[in-house]
Chain A
Amino acid sequence: VRCQQYPPLRALQASAALRAASDEHKKEPWASSPQQHFESPPAGQQPEEKPQGPHPSYTGQGGQESEDYESEEQLQHRILTAALEFVPEHGWTAEAIAEGAKTLGLSVAAAGLFHSAGSELILHFVSDCNTKLSELLKKEQKLVQLGEAEKKPIDEFLRDAVEARLRMLIPYIEKWPQALSVLLLPRNIPSSLNLLTSMIDDIWHYAGDQSTEFNWYTRRAVLTAIYNTTELVMMQDSSPGFEDTWRFLENRVADAMTMSNTATQVQSTGEAVVQGLMGAAVTVSNAATSRAVR
């Protein structure tokens, strides 16, 4: 499953690097990190197949099974997507995957295809959401280019992008705190951090180079803080249609805009990031314990 996520993300980063010519040297460290994660499979397991074409021994099989024509990763992808439907009931577990496999006509034992069932399911979901977000942003950009839509001011753009991405969590909101705590497990942090940073990269890429006061790292840090804190607020939000969350988001984005106009913006960004992370850690642990009790 992990192999499939990286090619589209690397392509995006490559095109983004071409645009931000002055920032190109800064993009390099990030572009190489997905490569590192791919090359270091978890210890004690067989190395996973490479994404370039199916494993040689499988091409020799006869054409009885339709699965010959799709690689294993595609099948795993399909199973995980089918499993998402059962997450509200079973949580992010192997059981949800087993139910998903059943709907595809496979035996429940197919859940054994995934070594760490819950983590893989969550990572798959997050990468799926990120892909959907970039498609959405790309479509909007095309409309602007064709002159069919107005170009949004930067704060409205950021707000809409974060809101669209967070709305994808709504069907799974009950079990999302569980997912967040799994994503924070040490073995998952490389992948989850990677997905998060590429999503933030994406949003800034489509936002365009409007705000020249920010430097590249600050932009990322600010938006990451906004996204994470809004996500946590959403976990605890019980207002109709999550209005409280969107209002919170609006305020944070407005804060970020005003911050950019002050001379001390770099320092306060650092502080904002630290505060955001501390608040994040405390809130997640509270949420996890409160959900566990429930």
Chain B
Amino acid sequence: VYQVFENVAKKYDVMNDSMTLGIHRVWKDILVHKMNPCPGTLLLDVAGGTGDIAFRFINYVRSVRQRQLQRKLKHHQNLSWQEIFESYQNNKFNNSLGDSQVVVCDINREMLKVGKQKAQHLGYSEGLSWVLGNAEELPFDDDKFDVYTIAFGIRNVTRIDLALQEAYRVLKPGGRFLCLEFSHVSNPLLSRLYDLYSFQVIPVLGEVIAGDWRSYQYLVESIRQFPPQEELKAMIEDAGFFKVDYENLNFGIVAIHSGFKL
């Protein structure tokens, strides 16, 4: 698995765009909207390699924070000078992210490197950390994070139950587990078209764009081998999560699973 991603790292984003015809951006947007983070949220993005989810999270929190500050300013027009002075003391106006933070964790150094470069290139400086780590054995303490996301990464974990247990461990009580992953298409017609596309088109694209047919063959096969929605839901429940739920996007091509540590 490591070598697959070493080869793939640099061309990862390009391949994602061409394979999914750009829809993966929408899927990731939907994931962050579902999360609906408020400022002050601590996010752990596992297998987050090139940082897509992390950047979207930061954008979202930044806009929520802006709205909050605007409301505070409006409210402040009715306050006395004393109260305004006190709020300046508390530095409420300084933090554009409202203390939110993202920790991007990936098993692969190359992916993290590409992610860091992207962050610099796009101008994301604060609230981001990049950590090397294995989803089955996270280098973090218990009860630390508000939200744990794993977008298109859980498929590549050898022991999914271990990853889920680790997710449960590092989440705070009340914390949320969100998993975005390719899943089972139930509609038979769409399923046939999807299979056709996956097995014929994707490896070819892999060869043409990234020069690596075998990694993308692996990718498509791992999607087929991955447990379907209900089974993954049961696994998440087994790890101890409550109110486990999934939402199919595009008829099941992709599904978002959500669970809470209660």
Contact = CB atoms under 8 A, between A and B. Distances in A.
Contacts of A111: 36, 38
Interface stretch (A99-107, A119-127, A257-265, A266-274): A99-107
Interface stretch (B114-122, B167-175, B200-208, B213-221): B167-175
Contacts, number: 67
B100 to A, nearest CB: 10
B11 interface: no
A30 interface: no
A113 B41 CA distance: 15
Given A101-B174, A107-B171, A46 B245 contact: yes
A61 B244 CA distance: 14
A106 B172 contact: yes
Nearest to B68: A95
Contact of A58 (B145, B242, B258): B242
Contacts of B132: none
A252 B146 CA distance: 51
Q: Which residue, A45, A104, A106, has most C-beta atoms of chain B within 10 A?
A: A106
A57 interface: yes
B36 A94 contact: yes
Interface string B164-182: 0000000111111000000
A62 B36 CA distance: 30
A174 to B, nearest CB: 11
Interface in B155-211: 171-176
Interface residues of A, number: 23
A50 to B, nearest CB: 14
A110 B260 contact: yes
A113 to B, nearest CB: 6
A109 B175 contact: yes
B174 A110 contact: yes
Contact of A98 (B38, B242, B243, B260): B38
Interface string B41-76: 100000000000000000000000000100000000
SS of B interface (majority): strand
A3 interface: no
B262 A109 contact: no
B223 interface: no
Contacts of B38: 94-95, 98, 108, 111
Q: Which residue, B38, B68, B145, B174, has most C-beta atoms of chain A within 10 A?
A: B174
A67 interface: yes
B242 A106 contact: no
A75 B68 CA distance: 27
Interface size class of B (residues with CB under 8 A): 20 to 34
A241 B5 CA distance: 68
Contact of A107 (B68, B172, B258): B172
A105 B146 CA distance: 12
B237 interface: yes
B90 to A, nearest CB: 15
Contacts of A113: 243, 260
Contacts of B145: 107
A244 interface: no
A105 B174 CA distance: 8
Nearest to A75: B262
B128 interface: no
Nearest to B247: A44
A57 B237 contact: yes
Contacts of B171: 107
B242 to A, nearest CB: 6
A107 B43 CA distance: 11
Contact of A112 (B68, B173, B176): B176
Contacts of A106: 172-174, 262
A140 interface: no
Contact of A61 (B146, B240, B246): B240
Nearest to A294: B74
Given A58-B242, A72-B243, A109 B173 contact: no
A95 B68 CA distance: 10
A75 B242 CA distance: 12
The 4 A-B residue pairs whose C-beta atoms are closest, nearest first, are A106-B174, A110-B174, A109-B176, A107-B174
Given A95-B68, A109-B37, A112-B34, 8 more contacts: A46-B245, A46-B246, A95-B38, A106-B172, A107-B145, A107-B173, A109-B176, A112-B260
Interface of B: 34-38, 40-41, 68, 145-147, 171-176, 237, 240, 242-243, 245-246, 258, 260, 262
14 contacts: A46-B245, A75-B262, A94-B36, A94-B38, A95-B38, A107-B145, A107-B171, A107-B174, A107-B176, A108-B38, A109-B37, A109-B146, A112-B176, A112-B260
